[in-house]
Structure 1
Amino acid sequence: MLLKLQQIIVKPGHQMLLKDISWQQLENILEEMGDKRAARISYSNGWLEIMVPLPEHEKDKELIGDLVKILLEKLQIDFEPFGSSTLKNERMRQAVEPDTSFYIQNHAAVIGKNRIDLNIDPPPDLAIEVDITSRTRFNNYEILGVPELWRYTKQGLEIFVLQDGKYIQSQSSPNFFNIPIIELVNEYVQQCLTSGRSQAMRNFRKWIENNL
């Protein structure tokens, strides 16, 4: 007897791994799961992982995404935010859903689009993953050609830049040259926890006005 997807329950903070999943099965699963869901997927050559983040994961994701938006807007840099949109390429047999993502240099290519197809669209210029319970799948992002990947863990922010098809760790962000992104993200995420989001965001805007 075949199980239906709605019969399977994955608790927050846990993952489920499925093997021998065809591309069509992946498409069917994504359609059945819908867009408004907490679960994230990662797919590579027939292996499908379904992850459900913890509430603190979602909070950190929103905070870091907001910091990026404020910085881009203050710098008057055009961008298109794509959140956790599924990044997939059937030819490469890869799909992944970042916690949040941004088109910056390539923003014009995706204006007006609601879905991304990496068979024809460029990958986002920046993808962000919050790793509280799960390990970021670097291979997906490397194969799909995402130029910059941020990983936020309990130890703080790490930046990875794609060079010759592999990620190398960097102390700076190509999208925010000469800006101490690691220190800023770490400081203001912590401020959100101690002073509250509103005060931390006001402090961040004030730092930008005083320093940029």
Structure 2
Amino acid sequence: MRLAPGSTVNIQDMSWEEFESILQELGEKRSRRVAYSKSTLEIMLPLPEHEKSKDLISDIVKILLKIAGKSYEPFGSTTFKRENIAGVEPDACFYIQNYQRMIGRRKLEPDDPPPDLAIETDVTSKTTLDAYEAIAVPELWIYDSKKLRIYLLSDGHYIESDRSPNFPNIPLTQIIAATVEQAWQVGTVQALKEFEEALDRSSF
């Protein structure tokens, strides 16, 4: 299957076995991203805009975790699955509360918990909340159209929140969006430097 950067393909009425077969055929080291929910498979080839935003937000999370003195294990775009129901690959994800359990883990085990925080940047496609609800990721960030939305899992469904339980005193929806946009003007390194300086000056 040949995809141009920024394009997506949706395949409906796909069985779980077919989804697993396609994952195996695509392999682990690939540029294509996949999501599976309600018997529908989405295959997406990201744009550079997507990659830059997701890397920047991931770096911001690492800075925030360091400042907060929290340990973590990053799991990147690992494929998380709930058999026969859903499969999803975040742009980035982190184990925070469960980081100790995941130290040294080279591949996921059946009883491993989902990541504590997952991040998606919606440039070429829209994140399917159903898949993340099925995987039961406690906190999901979606950056789309210059706006960050924070979703928290409650009774099996996501509710939108203006605060993150992992960083409760920081107005993330404001400062992350501003930092991503600043990076397009001054570059990633400078934007991250200004972000850290702003945190140092703040009373968060």
2:78 aligned with 1:93: no
Counterpart in the other structure of 1:75: 68
2-structure distance, mates of 1:20, 1:135: 19
Which residue number corresponds to residue 120 of structure 2?
129
Report the residue type matching 1:62 in the other structure: D
1:188 is the counterpart of 2:142? no
Is it true that 1:66 corresponds to 2:59 in the alignment? Answer: yes
Q: Secondary structure at the match of 2:94?
A: strand
1:79 Cα deviation (Å)? 0.6
Unpaired runs of 5+ residues, structure 1, are: 1-7
2:98 alignment counterpart:
106
The code of the aligned residue for 1:188 comes to T
Q: CA deviation at 1:161?
A: 0.8
Picking from 36, 39, 55, the partner of 1:46 is 39
Residue identity opposite 2:74 in structure 1: P
Contact 1:72/1:78 (CA < 8 Å) preserved in 2? Answer: yes
Displacement of 1:45 in angstroms is: 4.2
Corresponding residue for residue 22 of structure 1 = 15
Aligned positions, number: 203
SS in 1 for 2:114: coil
Contact residue 125 and residue 148 of structure 1 kept, 8 A:
yes
Return the match for 2:140 from 146, 149, 153: 149
Q: Which segment drifts farther, 127-136 or 10-19?
A: 10-19
Superposition deviation, residue 176 in structure 1: 0.7
What is the identity, as a one-letter code, of the residue corresponding to 2:127? T
- TM-score, normalised to structure 1, is 0.90
Question: Contact 1:142 / 1:162 at 8 angstroms: preserved in 2?
Answer: yes
TM-score under structure 2 normalisation?
A: 0.93
Q: Render the CA deviation track for 1:56-113: whole Å, top value 9, x for unaligned.
A: 01110101001101111122201111111101121x5210011111111111121111
**Which position in structure 2 is the counterpart of 1:3?**
none
Of 195, 199, 204, 1:208 maps to: 199
> Using the alignment, how far apart are the partners of 1:25 and 1:136 within structure 2?
21
What is the alpha-carbon root mean square deviation over aligned residues? 1.5
Residue deviations 1:132-166 (CA, integer Å, cap 9, x gap): 12111000001111111111011311111111111
Contact 1:130/1:152 (8 A) holds in 2 = yes
CA distance in structure 2 between the aligned counterparts of 1:129 and 1:102, rounded to whole angstroms:
12
Gaps of 5+ in 2: none
**Structure 2 residue 111 is matched with structure 1 residue 159:** no
CA contact (8 A) 1:83 1:100 kept: yes
**What is the CA–CA distance in structure 1 between the aligned matches of 2:108 and 2:143, rounded to whole Å?**
24
Q: What residue number does 1:10 align with?
A: 3
